[in-house]
Amino acid sequence: MLSWRQLLALALYALGTLTTVVGVAYATTDIPRDLNSFATQQDNVYYWADGTEMARTGQVNRQEMPLSKVPVPVQDAVVAAENESFWSDSGVSLKGISRAVLGLGDAGGGSTITQQYVKNAYLNQEQTVSRKVTEIFIAMKLDDRMTKKEILQAYLNTSWLGRGGYGFQAGAQAYYGKDVTELDVSEAAFLASLLKGAGLYDPAVSKANHARAVERWSWILDRMVDTGKLTPKQRAKYTEFPEPKDPPKIEGLQGQTGYLVETAKAYVSAHTGISDAEFALGGYQVHTTFEKPEVTALAKAADKALAKADAAAKAKKNSADSHLRAGAASVATDGRIVALYGGRDYLKQGFNDANSSIVPAGTSFTPFVYAAALTDGVQKVRGGSRTAVTPSTTYDGNDDVQVTTPEGPYWGRDGKIATGHNDNGRDWGTISLREALAQSVNTPFIQLGMDVGLDKVAATATASGLLNESLGARVPAFSLGNSTPSPIRMADAYATLAAGGVNTEPYSVTRVTKHGGTAFAQHADHRRAISKAVTSEVTDALRASVSYGAAGRTAGTVGQKGPAAKPGTTEDRKAGWFAGYGTTGTKVSTAVAVFRVDPAKQELLPLRKAVMRDYPAQIWTDYMKAVS
């Protein structure tokens, strides 16, 4: 038998050894440099114009919120539920230490908020003694390096609360459809209950979950009384469980959503000063200009037309209807992109046809030739004075009219004098410019562009909203739309006409926020592109186009008084357009382009005349009927 002195010496030796081992382990345990990816990465959330959620991008649903913006009752509820001594402890729990040191089978439980944060941010969820010991040492060191407020903020932003989300901001949105800043005490107590295990306490999962959630919610409110954060009188107000809303059905990027997100993301990259690297880390809320009812109506109209073409191609009645595509956009006179149609489905066709610059504008471009002529007049003789042009100014509207310049005939590359042609070779005789625009007669505008000067026509088009890089070669065909603007840009240019000649750059984002603050706010710039008097004359001719002219077949049935619109076709039948705007109520311009693309060569294919002429107008008309 060992004497008491020997036993004491052995105990002291064992204690000294244990102290040395613990000390060495503590000294050699470092705080990891890198946080777990989910602890830093967040998703970006996109919102419709009405403020409802449109989509999320990123692998993790997490939205950071600084502690200063988290209501004190939320903080109090978490501390009461998880770690009453948080504000005064050293970052560890004696209960947890004893379990780890004594090697008890269940290494979980008894963890402080600091320990839980360490587990979330640096370690894994394994229930082992070695992981628990590492957690304790890191927590102690972290408590020395970070303030309690910093630790609590980090914990609130990285905790798993279920429904695909990390952090209390994501949790507030998922369960109550509001920011964490708007939570009341009762809602805060429920969210705090989820820290014990979201899978067991989400009331929407099962009746058993609901019962557990109600019980723990009530317990946390009682704990807040025990910790002095609520008075009994205040606690007595909360007798009814704050039922969360049903789990949100988060849309992916299918259908039009992907095109909308892509457009908004590109705008953020180009205009907000937020770098792509910063944006990729997530945590941003992107508020867009897209109106959900308008997007839905435009998609319905375009899908209907494309389905008609698919049916014709499938029946082998018109193989030329195969591979038909459409791009469309609706832009308000203040520059907001209200809606767009990028293709049949973003997940099947990632290329956004609403922002495509491969389709020639055709005769939908002629209003800008007309506007340039009314603004700058014409010069028919080199060195001669410029002559004013009015809507009643007449030109030769016959087919096969020779094109001239101030120096004489325009010679083409084939060694012949260039001539203009009308649709179906029709002769219109002498015709006023207003009537030529209304009836979509080509030859007057080919010559008018040469008389005005193609550079002046180009200047009018770019001032109205078309991009200079999309403009075509300065040849006679320029006036008939050899340029390739995107539907978004064409809609914006027509919106300039609807706005009385004032152009606003199209935009898809109104503001971007992060951490509860504003990272970007839209300040749209307006500029005078065309005089109000000139745009009034252009609108008058476009209204005539709808009421009895080239646009009248379908667009005239729109339930609006006096819409102004223009169809657009190309001589080689590679594209069909329809662009226009309403002249009453909210002024929104819409442009639709229909075309075919060879899937192997990615080259434009010719359209049937009926498709080129009727499909864009039908899409435009169906859409306008739905939103008027």
Kindly report the CATH number assigned to the domain that includes residue 118: 1.10.3810.10
Amino acid of residue 277: A
User: Has residue 521 been placed in a domain?
Assistant: yes
Question: Is residue 461 over pLDDT 50?
Answer: yes
Question: Residue 95: what pLDDT?
Answer: 65
- Same-domain check for residues 156 and 227: yes
How do beta strands 44-47 and 284-288 pair?
parallel
Tally the domains of the chain: 3
- Same-domain check for residues 270 and 386: no
Pairwise pLDDT comparison (447 vs 2), residue with the higher score: 447
Amino acid of residue 49: A
- Three state DSSP letters for 287-339: EECCCHHHHHHHHHHHHHHHHHHHHHHHCCCCHHHCCEEEEEEEEECCCEEEE
Domain boundary at 465, 483, 501, which?
Answer: 483
- Same-domain check for residues 516 and 628: yes
Q: How far apart are the first and last CA of the chain?
A: 101
- Same-domain check for residues 511 and 425: no
67-76, 308-317, 499-508 — which is least confidently predicted?
308-317
- Same-domain check for residues 205 and 346: no
Domain boundary at 423, 448, 483, which?
Answer: 483
How far apart are the C-alpha atoms of 598 and 262, rounded to whole Å? 24
**Nearest CA among 541, 572, 566, 533 for reference residue 552:** 566
Q: By percentage, how much of the chain surpasses pLDDT 90?
A: 65
User: Has residue 94 been placed in a domain?
Assistant: yes
- pLDDT tier for residue 115 given thresholds of 50, 70 and 90: confident
CB 185 within 8 A of CB 230: yes
CA 485 vs. chain centroid, Å, equals 21
The mean predicted confidence, pLDDT, of the chain is 88
- Interhelix angle 532-547/487-498, rounded to 10 degrees, is 110
User: Has residue 383 been placed in a domain?
Assistant: yes
Tokens at 36, concatenated: 């777990």
Domain boundary at 429, 450, 483, which?
Answer: 483
- Same-domain check for residues 416 and 349: no
Kindly report the CATH number assigned to the domain that includes residue 433: 3.40.710.10
Domain around 526: 41-53+252-360+485-628
Mean pLDDT of 183-188: 96
CA 306 vs. chain centroid, Å, equals 24
**What's the sign of the alpha-carbon dihedral 248, 252, 256, 260?**
positive
Query: Which residues does residue 378 pair with via DSSP β-bridges, in sequence order?
Result: 387
- Same-domain check for residues 83 and 200: yes
Query: pTM here?
Result: 0.81
User: Has residue 243 been placed in a domain?
Assistant: no
99-108, 185-194, 520-529, 601-610 — which is least confidently predicted?
99-108
Please write the tens of the pLDDT for every residue from 483-528. 999 999 999 999 999 999 999 999 999 999 998 899 999 999 999 9
Mean pLDDT of 579-598: 87
- Same-domain check for residues 527 and 609: yes
Amino acid of residue 445: F
Question: Which of 150-164, 311-325, 466-480, 603-617 tops mean pLDDT?
Answer: 466-480
- Same-domain check for residues 166 and 311: no
How far apart are the C-alpha atoms of 253 and 235, rounded to whole Å? 44
User: Has residue 60 been placed in a domain?
Assistant: yes
Find the radius of gyration of the CA atoms of the chain.
34
- Same-domain check for residues 497 and 414: no
Helix (H, G, I), strand (E, B) or coil at 69: helix
User: Has residue 223 been placed in a domain?
Assistant: yes
How far apart are the C-alpha atoms of 41 and 414, rounded to whole Å? 61
Question: Residue 220: what pLDDT?
Answer: 96
> Hey, how many other C-beta atoms are within 10 angstroms of the C-beta on 515?
16
User: Has residue 275 been placed in a domain?
Assistant: yes
